[in-house]
Amino acid sequence: MQKLYILSTLVLVVFVSFLVSLSGLKAYYLEFLALGCVLFLALRRFGTGLGQRLINVAQSILFTFTILYVVLSTGGLQSPYFFFVYFLLFGLSLLLDPFVSLSTALAIVGLFLSQFSAGKSLSELLPVVALPFLVPFALYLGQEHRMLQKEHEVRTVEKEDAMLFVSTIMKGHLDELQKVVQGFTGDHDLHTMMRMIRRMKTLIDKYEKGTSV
């Protein structure tokens, strides 16, 4: 249900960007582009408390409206900024679920196809025809990006576990060993030290094997 809500919102944004580009506001596309950049930076700087998923959706909406508005306001298929649409597809694949990004990409393709008239040559249609072929590649890169993120999160957790292991269990045993060394009196303390060292070695072996200490 949440995916459908996000998809509906993005499709609406695609339609709204088309309507705005037909209005008198299309002359201010540079101002809208600058405003989009400012909002993006503000979202990156002050939106950390919203949660990564909500930030991704907000960025997707911002990118979709700004890029489509600029492209449509400057000639659509003949726009010198049409290549921005390619970056938009890659951006959506990195930020959104594959189903949502693919469906939004198809909506964008449909929007540009609706502008194609019979009087135009097929060569003018090639940039739009290329869009669906970019979508699978963009989705593949998005999947790879998410896998790298998960691997990074796993490594971060493992690093935190290692620090916790060293700072609590091992540090406690080292403190006890230091006290024994400082108050060393004879064979009894030597046996105590050997027992503690064996215990530390056992703990390290268990930690390396991933068992509970």
Q: In this predicted model, which residue has the larger pLDDT, 142 or 42?
A: 42
Residue 25 has phi, psi (to 5 degrees) of -75, -10
pLDDT band at 213 (very low <50, low <70, confident <90, very high): very low
pLDDT band at 160 (very low <50, low <70, confident <90, very high): low
pLDDT digits 0-9 by tens, 43-92: 777 767 777 788 888 888 998 998 998 898 888 888 888 888 888 888 88
105-112 long-range CB contacts below 8 Å, 24 or more apart? 105/131, 105/132, 105/135, 105/138, 106/132, 106/135, 107/10, 107/11, 107/14, 108/14, 108/64, 108/68, 111/14, 111/15, 111/18, 111/68, 112/76, 112/77, 112/85
Distance of CA 30 to the CA centre of its chain: 27
pLDDT digits 0-9 by tens, 180-190: 555 655 556 56
Query: What's residue 202's pLDDT?
Result: 67
Per the listing, tokens 């900024």 go with 81
pLDDT band at 12 (very low <50, low <70, confident <90, very high): very high
- Listed ranges 14-18, 49-53, 158-162, 177-181; the one with the highest mean pLDDT: 14-18
Q: What is the mean pLDDT of residues 10-23?
A: 88
Average pLDDT over the chain reads: 75
Number of Cα atoms under 13 Å in the Cβ half of residue 160: 6
Q: Among candidates 116, 100, 126, 207, which has minimal Cα distance to 162?
A: 207
Q: Among candidates 71, 62, 73, 65, which has minimal Cα distance to 127?
A: 71
pLDDT digits 0-9 by tens, 129-158: 777 777 777 777 767 777 777 777 767 666
Global confidence as pTM = 0.64
21-35, 41-55, 119-133: which has the minimum mean pLDDT?
Answer: 119-133
Angular region, 75: left φ>0, alpha ψ -120 to 50, beta rest: left
The yes-or-no verdict on residue 118 having pLDDT over 70 is: no
* Interatomic CA distance for residues 192 and 189, integer angstroms: 5
Query: What's residue 212's pLDDT?
Result: 45
Q: Which residues contact 213 (CB under 8 A, 6 or more apart)?
A: 165, 169, 203, 206, 207
Sequence spans of domains, the chain: 2-150, 152-209
